[in-house]
Amino acid sequence: MSIAYQIVVCAGIVPDPLQTLEPVTSPAGPALKNEMMLPAVLDPWAGHALFEAANLAKNLPGSKVWLVSFGPKAKLQQVMMTVAQKVPFELVALDGPASGFTEATEVAAALTEAIQAIPALDKSKLLVFGGWESASRGAGATLQMLGERLGISDQFQGVDELKVSADGTMEIWERIEGGRHQVSQCAGAPALLGWATGNLPEPKNNPQVGMTNMRTVMPALQKAKPQKLAGDGLKFASVTLPKQMRDTKIVKDASPDDIAKEIVDWIKQ
Amino acid sequence: METILVLAHTEADGSPAQTVRESLHAAVNLHQASPDSKLVVGLIGTNVEAAANAIAACPATKYFGVTGAEFAQPRYATDCAAAEAICKSAQATIVIAPATARWNRVLAGLAQRLGGRADTHVTGISAESGVIGISRWYYRQRMEALVQRTQRPWIVAIDPGSQTPCNCGAGTAVVEVISMQIPEASLRTKVVGVRAPAADAQTIRPDAKLLFVTGAGWTKKQADGQTHVPEAEHLIRDFLKVSRASLGSSKSLVDLGGEGQAILPFLSHLNQIGQTGATPRHPKGLSTCCHGEEPHTVGWRFIAERRAISLDANCGWARGKTDVLYVADAFQVMQKVNALLAANP
C-alpha cells in the first residue's frame, strides 16, 4: 500500500474529569472557578483521535501526524508532558482560552489559519481528525466549521472505525441512534473525521517517543501565537450548577425478596 | 421579524420522526411567543410529501423541500447542500432542527456556510421580552447555561427527548420543491449500510422506559472471595430480556473490556454513560454495583426517577443523587427481580 496521509489532529485540553467544576463570572464572561489551577488533560475523544491517527500513520509509511492544540500555553505544556510520551506527532500550538464558553466559530477560524500555515500541506493527502465533541463545550461544532473553512465536504462524526483499502478508499463507521453504526465508503482524502472512542486502548508511555516529540513541542509552545476570542454577539444570561438534590431514601437491612418486590412494583408503575 | 424554520429529514419510509415533532413543538412555542414571527418547515428526503402532510395542521405558513434519491443517504455533502438551499430560500433567521445523528453531522457546518452560528444539544428555547434564549449544558452536563445571540441565522439543534412532541395533525401541505444539481464531488461518500447487533443482542434501546446501569462491582470479588462474572452476565442478560430495559455502563466497566479482561462481553463503549459517554433520556433508571460518583452520575442527568443498589451505604448515590438507595447485594436482588418479572411479565 503506497498511500501516505498528512493527518492533522485537532485536540483541546479540558479540566480533569474528576475535578469539581463551579462556574464563576469573569470580566470576559463565564469561566470556571480556579480554572488555571485545575489539572488539565487532553480532551478525551480528541485523545482517541490522536491515538487512531498515530496508528494509521504507523501502518502507512510516509504518513505524518500533526497535533494542533488550542489552550493556555502553560496548561498545554503541562498536558504535553504526558501526551508527548504516547505517540509521535509534531505540535502546532495556539495560545488562547480552553474554556467551553468560547465561540466555536472563532476557535475554528484560528485552527484553520494554523493548519493552513503548516509547511507543504497537501490537501489531497489531508485527513483532519478530532473528537466528535469536546468535554467542555460538547457541541460537536468546531470540527465541522473547520472542515467548511478548509473546503472539506466529506465529513464524519462519531467515528469508531476507519479502514483504508489498498486503492485509498476509506470505510468509516459512525455512531448513529440505538447503538448502531452507519457504514460509509469515501473515495479518499481529503476528509474530516470526528472520532468517538475508536477501538484502540490508550498507548503506554514511551520515554523515547517523549524525547523525540519534545524536540518539537517546546519550540512550538514558545512560538504559539496568542489568540483573542471576542465572543461577539454571544451572551450568557446565566450559567448555573444543577441545584436539584434528591432526598435519598436509604433502605438498609431489607431482605433481597422485599427489595426485589419493591423494585418490580416500581418498574411496573 | 424572525423567520423560524423547522429543518428536518424524513425517515427511510418517508415519515417524520418523533424528534421532528419535538422540534416542531419548540418552534411553535417560540413562534407564538415572538410577535410578528413567521413559521416555515423545510424537509429533505427522497420524497417529502408524506412527511409534510403528516404535520400539515401545524401553524407553518410554508413548506420547502429538497427531494431526490441523492438525499436519501445521510451524507454530509448532500445534506449540507440541501439544508443550505432550504435556509436560503426560506430566508430563515432561526433554524430549529432535531439533534439526530444525521443532523448532528451537518448543522454546525451549515451555520459556517451560512455565516451564522449554531448551538447543539439544546434542551430549551424561550423568548422573554422579545429576546430569544436557549438552554444547553456545558462540561458534559455539569452546568447549564442560558445563551442569547444577536447573529443570524441561528441554528438550534434540539436534543431528542427534551421536548414534548407536538400533536399537529395531518392535512394537505403544499411543498415548494427546490431544484438542486448535485456535483459529482459531493457524491464521493456513499452510505453502504448500517451495522447493528442482532435483535437479541441489542442492548441500547433509546425508547425503553428504564435505563439499567451496571457498574464495575459486577466483576469484583464477592463475599466468598471469588469473582462471579458468568453469573453476572447471566443475571444482567436475563433482566434485559424480561424488562426490555436499555443497558448503560460505567466507564470503568467498559474499559476493563477494552483491556482484554474476560468480563461482560456484551458491553462496549456505546453502552457507556457519564462524563465521557452518553447522557440518555429515560423515565426511570436503576443502577447496580456502581458507586455513584460524579463522573458516572452525569450520565443520569436526564433520568427522571432513579434507584440504585449498592453494598456501600455511603457511596455517591447516598448524597442526593438517587431517590432510593438499596444497601444490598445486587447479585441476590437481581436474581429475585428476574424471577418476579419472569413470573409476572
Ranges of each domain in chain B: 3-187, 210-343
Whether A257 has its CB under 8 Å from any CB of chain B: the answer is yes
Q: Which tens digits make up the pLDDT trace of A52-98?
A: 999 999 999 999 999 999 999 999 999 999 999 999 999 999 999 99
Q: Which of residues 306-325 of B touch A (CB under 8 A)?
A: 306-307, 309, 313, 317-325
Superfamily of domain B210-343: TPP-binding domain (3.40.50.1220)
Tell me what the mean pLDDT of segment B156-180 comes to.
Answer: 96
Q: Are B3-187 and B210-343 in the same CATH fold?
A: yes
Whether B145 has its CB under 8 Å from any CB of chain A: the answer is yes
Report the amino acid identity of residue A72.
P
pLDDT of residue B290: 87
CA-to-CA distance for B203 and A80, rounded, in angstroms? 38
CA-to-CA distance for A160 and B256, rounded, in angstroms? 18
Q: Say whether pLDDT at B53 is over 80.
A: yes
Whether B302 has its CB under 8 Å from any CB of chain A: the answer is no
Domains of chain A: 6-226 (3.40.50.620)
Percent of chain B with pLDDT strictly greater than 90: 72
CA-to-CA distance for B120 and A145, rounded, in angstroms? 13
Banded pLDDT at A32 (limits 50, 70, 90): very high
Q: How many CB atoms lie within 10 A of CB B48?
A: 26
Which of the four CATH numbers 3.40.50.620, 3.60.10.10, 3.40.50.300, 3.30.70.100 does domain B3-187 have?
Answer: 3.40.50.620
CA-to-CA distance for A225 and A95, rounded, in angstroms? 6
B75: chain A residues, CB-CB within 8 Å: 184
Query: Taking the CA of residue A13 as centre, how many other CA atoms within 13 Å lie in the half-sphere pointing to its CB?
Result: 30
- Residue A92 forms beta bridges with which residues? A68
Contact A154 B188 (CB under 8 A): yes
Q: Which tens digits make up the pLDDT trace of B281-303?
A: 899 999 999 888 877 777 888 89
pLDDT of residue B258: 58
pLDDT of residue A28: 87
pLDDT of residue A178: 87
Q: Which tens digits make up the pLDDT trace of A111-154?
A: 999 999 999 999 999 999 999 999 999 999 999 999 999 999 99
pLDDT of residue A1: 54
Banded pLDDT at B151 (limits 50, 70, 90): very high
Contact A249 B150 (CB under 8 A): no
Contact A260 B340 (CB under 8 A): yes
Does the pTM surpass 0.90? The reply is yes
Tell me what the mean pLDDT of segment A151-163 comes to.
Answer: 97
Residue burial B184-216, b: 16+ Cβ < 10 Å; e: rest = eebebbeeeeeeeeeeeebbbbeebbbbbbbbb
Question: What sign does the CA torsion over B337, B339, B344, B345 have?
Answer: positive
Identify the three-state secondary structure at position A22. coil
Instruction: Output the CA–CA distances (angstroms, integers) from residue A94 to A13, A109, A229, in the order listed.
Output: 12, 12, 12
B333: chain A residues, CB-CB within 8 Å: 256, 259-260, 263
Percent of chain A with pLDDT strictly greater than 90: 93
- B137 neighbors B144 (Cβ within 8 angstroms): yes
